[in-house]
Structures are given as C-alpha cells and as structure tokens.
Amino acid sequence: MNETAPLEDPRVSAQLALLQRGVHDLISRTELAAALTKSMATGRPLRVKLGVDPTSASLHLGFTLGLRKLRQFQDLGHQAVLIIGDATAMVGDPTGRNKARPRLDASTVDAHAKHYLEQACRILNRETLEVRRNGEWLKALDFSSFIELASRSTVARMLERDDFQKRWKEGTAIQLHEFLYPLLQGQDSVAVQADVELGGRDQLFNLLVGRDLQQQHGQTPQVCMTTPLLIGTDGVRKMSKSYDNHVGIDESADDMILKVMRINDAMLRDWMLHLTRFDDAQIEALLGAGTNPRDAKLALGKSIVADYHGAEAADQAAEGWLRRVSRKETDESLALLVVPSAWAGQDISVLELLMHSGWFASKGEARRQLEQGAVNIGAERISGHQAHATLHGGEVLRVGRQRSARISFS
C-alpha cells in the first residue's frame, strides 16, 4: 500500500483512489494501475473474481465488504465474476480455523447457493454479473489432473499459512484435504483467467497461491486485493454468527437498525467506510467535533437498511426506533418495578431481574421464558438464560403479552 508510481492518466488515478479505499492488502498497486491503463487502452474490462463458499443460507454484513468492492469494479465497467464454491464448500476452507471445518453434502450446498446468490444480488448488478460454480472444472478433474494440481505446491509452502503454523505448533491435527483447499481456490483463478481477486484479509494466502498457479500456467498473475474483517456488534471480535454479533442482511429493517444503534461509538467510522457510500466529507460531517453519536448511528442505520430494504423502509425503521427508544412513547400507566439502585448502569443477569420481579415461582419457569424469546427490555428481545443487560432506568420489561412494568431504581 506504500507503493508510488507516476500515473499520467487522471482516469486511472480516479479509479485507483476509489478501489483502494478501505482496502487492507493490495498486491500490487503498480500492477493494478498497469491493468487499469491497459483496460482503458484496449477496451477490455478487467475480470474481477470473488469466490464464496455457500456454507450458510444467509449472509451478514461482514460478508458484504467483498461484495461491495466487487460492485465498485462493476460500476467502473469491469466484469465481475462471482464464483459459487459448490465444490470447495464440500472440502471446507481452513482459513482462520483451529480445527478442520465440517464438510457439507451436495444437497445442503445447493440449497445454500440459491439463497446466497439471491442475497448477493441485492448488492451486485445481476444483469452484468458472471456467475460460475467451481464444480464446473474441479469436479471434472480426473486422477492424473488432480495429482498434477497437488504437485504444484509443497508442504513447506502450505505451512507458511498462519493458521496452519499455529495448529502445527499446538499439535492440532491438520488433515491432508485442508492443504488442498488453497490449490483448489487458486485453480479457480486459472479457470476464469482472473485479472483481480478479492477476499477478506485472512484469505491473502489463498489469493497468492492463485497468482502462483496462474504464472505456472502462463497467465498474467492476478492482482490480490483484500478487505478488513468487520468487527461485530460486540465491538471485540470479527462479525460471525458463531459469536452472535452479526447483522444479517435478510433481517427485518427494525432489527437491523436496532442492532446498528447498539454498536460502540468507536466503530462508527469503520462501519461507515465499509458499509455505506458515504464519502470522507460526509463521514467527517457526521463524526466531527460537536456531533451527536446517536445521530451518526441513525444515519448509518438508515443507509444500511436502505441498501437491503429500500429508502422508505429505512425511514420507517428509524422513526420507529426514535418512537420506541429515544422518545420513550410507551404506556405511562405501567406499574413500576423497583430494583436496587446498585444495579444502575451495571451488567445485570436478566434471569436475576426476572426473579426480582416476583412474576415467577421458580427460576426454571423464568428460564423457560428466556429460552423461548418471550422477554423484552425496551425494544430489545432477550434470549438465553445467561443473558445480561445494562439498566439505566425507565426501560419497560415485558414477558409475553401479560406481564410488563417500567424499571425504576430504589
């Protein structure tokens, strides 16, 4: 990212400025500038590849960083190539794992692939998108071709991967098929003759293997471009369904905006950079000195919701949040639930709060309400018997339709 090269064509400079924005790794800027220059001279659009394994039926915002970058290339007139890894999903990508990833069966992969494509096309231009399944070429490999592919790298090279190194040192098993995954992903680049490949920053090793294979096949090595790993709503770990810190793009507009409004203020700039079309001036106007973080979150939430549900739904969701949470337009006739003043601003067990209410004869009964998702504090649904909440006073505690009270401190 520190490379500098004279760029005579201002159109190339403009494209580079857009495409580099928010990028973690770029290998290399000089090669990308040359490829863009050649594309303009010849009229041949760059072939820009993003490979995705349909390991889940739904996507969250963390997945969209690569899709949004692919859409930028589309908007600049380049050819977006979305590879659905119906073959590689059955192997299991070991990236970022401390153990082997479970392998999926063909019917599960097919079902996930259908939903994945539907959701991805909320971001991508479906009319110009080239969609390929890597089973086209990977499942067609015969025994000799498979051995030939395996011979194009070494065990030492594979052990350069951070996650493999860690597992090797810890004595955690590395299965042989996991070593094959980077080669299979790299073979995708050879098959579609990619000029650029996109991926998360934890995918850089796999992208570089693609460069190696292309060179071995006499192709120009692809430019590798990675995006950061989006921090989830907990403000600590990368967004993941496993960590329950995700915002799904198929969630309701109300749920999406509620989750956005709960993120840490320190995350606002990154989320705006990677999840919206806000330019630097707009971001600075929302986050500059004297601005209200709540207003910035609301603008961020509306932008995100509008991308997946439309502008009207985004306006309605924002207004609903203001009505329910900020303006506290709730039933003023609710009874008060007086709790110890020592609980103010503290992380309190919701199960303990329910028992304090006196509504339940046993912890088992209260626990069942939590497990069934029947408990709400304000606009937030609480689930799981180990759930905690921070109380500030004035929140409405509801359990089902029959029990509700406004929280007050003694």
409 near 348, Cβ under 8 Å?
A: no
Task: Assess whether 55 and 178 both reside in one domain.
Answer: yes
Within-domain flag for 223 = yes
Within-domain flag for 238 = no
* Interval 161-181 mean pLDDT: 78
- pLDDT (tens digit, 9 = 90+) per residue, 258-275? 899 988 899 999 999 999
Q: Is the pLDDT of residue 7 over 60?
A: no
Last residue within a domain, chosen from 209, 227, 245:
227
Task: Assess whether 203 and 268 both reside in one domain.
Answer: no
Within-domain flag for 306 = yes
Q: Which H or E run contains 162?
A: helix 162-170
Rounded to whole angstroms, the Cα distance separating 118 from 365 reads 41
Calculate the alpha carbon distances from 7 to 16, 39, 222 in Å: 10, 15, 20
Task: Assess whether 295 and 257 both reside in one domain.
Answer: yes
Q: Is the pLDDT of residue 1 over 50?
A: no
Q: Residue 272 has which token pair?
A: 């705006």
- Cβ-count burial 251-260 (b if 16+ within 10 Å, e if not): bebbbbbbbb
Query: Among 4-8, 25-29, 330-334, which is the least confidently predicted range?
Result: 4-8
Q: Read off the CATH number of the domain in which 318 is found.
A: 1.10.240.10
Within-domain flag for 99 = yes
Q: Is the pLDDT of residue 326 over 80?
A: no
* 89 or 232, which is more confident: 232
Confidence of residue 230 (pLDDT cuts 50, 70, 90): very high
Compute φ and ψ for 387, nearest 5 degrees. Answer: -65, 145
Output the pTM of the full model.
0.73
Rounded to whole angstroms, the Cα distance separating 84 from 116 reads 9
Average pLDDT, the chain: 86
Within-domain flag for 393 = yes
Confidence of residue 332 (pLDDT cuts 50, 70, 90): low
Rounded to whole angstroms, the Cα distance separating 261 from 317 reads 11
- pLDDT (tens digit, 9 = 90+) per residue, 98-148? 444 566 677 778 888 888 888 889 999 999 999 999 999 998 888 888 888
Confidence of residue 95 (pLDDT cuts 50, 70, 90): low
Within-domain flag for 96 = yes
Last residue within a domain, chosen from 210, 227, 244:
227
Within-domain flag for 264 = yes
Compute φ and ψ for 378, nearest 5 degrees. Answer: 65, -130
- pLDDT (tens digit, 9 = 90+) per residue, 38-88? 999 999 999 999 998 887 777 899 999 999 999 999 999 999 999 998 888
Within-domain flag for 25 = yes
| Amino acid at position 267, single letter | M
Task: Assess whether 398 and 289 both reside in one domain.
Answer: no
- pLDDT (tens digit, 9 = 90+) per residue, 138-160? 988 888 888 888 888 777 777 77
Q: Is the pLDDT of residue 328 over 60?
A: no
Last residue within a domain, chosen from 283, 306, 326:
326
pLDDT at 391 (0 to 100): 86
Confidence of residue 327 (pLDDT cuts 50, 70, 90): low
Q: What percent of the chain has pLDDT over 90?
A: 44
Domain that holds residue 221: 10-227
Q: Read off the CATH number of the domain in which 71 is found.
A: 3.40.50.620
Q: Is the pLDDT of residue 394 over 50?
A: yes
pLDDT at 329 (0 to 100): 47
Q: Read off the CATH number of the domain in which 353 is found.
A: 3.10.290.10
pLDDT at 333 (0 to 100): 59
Task: Report the domain count for the chain.
Answer: 3
